[in-house]
């Protein structure tokens, strides 16, 4: 047993891409999206998001996002 079997997974997806307009969420090219990864909790996702966001700070059109996948997978438990 690894110790992870007893913990609740609250999966989070981190991804980003270049936007047409920095004031809107419309990606220039969906084929160029950067899928950073799926993380078991928000804290780990935030670390990955922050690293990617900081590495692209010179590009005003580049944005990274955290998607709460656990909310999409189980909409009955949105409060988690």
So where are the chain's domains? 1-24+41-80
Cα 38-41-47 angle, rounded to 5 deg: 75
* Integer Cα distance of 66 and 80 in angstroms: 15
* Integer Cα distance of 40 and 78 in angstroms: 16
CATH of domain 1-24+41-80: 3.30.70.2400
Tens of pLDDT, residue by residue, the chain (80 residues)? 455 555 778 999 999 999 999 999 999 999 999 999 999 999 999 999 999 999 999 999 999 999 999 988 887 766 55
């Amino acid at each position: 047993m690894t110790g992870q079997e007893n913990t609740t997974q609250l999966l989070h997806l981190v991804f980003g891409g270049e936007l047409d307009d920095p004031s809107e969420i419309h990606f220039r090219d969906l084929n160029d999206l950067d899928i950073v990864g799926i993380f078991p909790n928000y804290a780990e996702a935030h670390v990955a998001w922050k690293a990617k966001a900081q590495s692209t700070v010179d590009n005003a059109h580049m944005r990274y996002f955290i998607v709460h996948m656990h909310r999409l997978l189980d909409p009955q438990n949105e409060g988690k």
